[in-house]
Amino acid sequence: MFSVNTAQVGSAPVGVNVLGPAGQPVPSSVEPKPDGVTGKFTPVQDGPHTVDVTYAGVPVPRSPFRVQAMPAPSTSDASKVKAYGSGLMTGTANKPADFTIDTRMAGPGGLGLTIDGPTEAKIECFDKGGGLFDVRYWPTEPGEYTTNILFDDQPIPHSPFQAQINPAKMVDVSGIKVYGNGVEPTGRIYYQSVCHHHHHHFLY
């Protein structure tokens, strides 16, 4: 929407011609107002539009105008929702896994989020405003966690996401003792098992 002020020059027909990014005509309308006219056009696609404004058949100064059309979507479009962050792919048990959901280009709609795994994970969602959300969940057990993200009940691209949550400690070496320095003629090193069975095993 834009205004053409003709208050200084009296009333004469104002013409508005709008071309879209591919040079195609875009329907536009002109509404008179006290100090001129208001031109309206509805972009059919994103991108640069050319607005040619004439007054009494003569282009007005600076016409044609270049207008970048970023139409505010009136309907929700789950395919325009983005989700990114390491928490959608990997993580460690008992540590927070984070990711971000970006609904800014998807229009109005409700965001749905479920995370399924070996145990129920606590989910925290932080609304950053403007359609941006930071999500944090706390997987308490290792295994595969599946994140389903829905926008207006439609799955977003790449949903569901599969995240592999690793054990809290990949290898616990704290209980392994190494005997010998490894340079004896036999080259034997003795490991004491850290298995908590009834008997201690000795590995030779």
Q: What is the pLDDT of residues 51-86, one digit of tens each?
A: 777 777 777 777 677 766 665 556 789 999 999 999
| Rounded Cα–Cα distance for residues 1 and 65 (Å) | 12
Query: How much is the mean pLDDT over the chain?
Result: 76
CATH superfamily of 78-166: Immunoglobulins (2.60.40.10)
User: Could you tell me where in the chain the CATH 2.60.40.10 domains are found?
Assistant: 2-69, 78-166
The pLDDT > 90 percentage for the chain reads 38
Who wins on pLDDT, 174 or 20?
A: 20
| DSSP codes joined into one string, 158-190 | TPSEEEEEEPSSS---TT--EES-S-STT---E
Two tokens, residue 122: 């606590």
Q: Which amino acid is at 89?
A: M
Who wins on pLDDT, 198 or 123?
A: 123
| Rounded Cα–Cα distance for residues 49 and 26 (Å) | 9
What is the average per-residue pLDDT within 109-127? 91
| Residue 135 CB contacts under 8 Å (≥ 6 apart), including other chains | 85, 87, 98, 99, 100, 101, 113, 123, 124, 125, 126
Q: What is the pTM of this model?
A: 0.49
Query: Sheet holding 28-33: strands in order across?
Result: 2-5, 36-41, 28-33
What is the average per-residue pLDDT within 117-135? 91
HSE on the CB side for 99, CA within 13 Å? 23
pLDDT category at 11 given cuts 50, 70, 90 is low
CATH 1.10.530.10 correct for 2-69? no
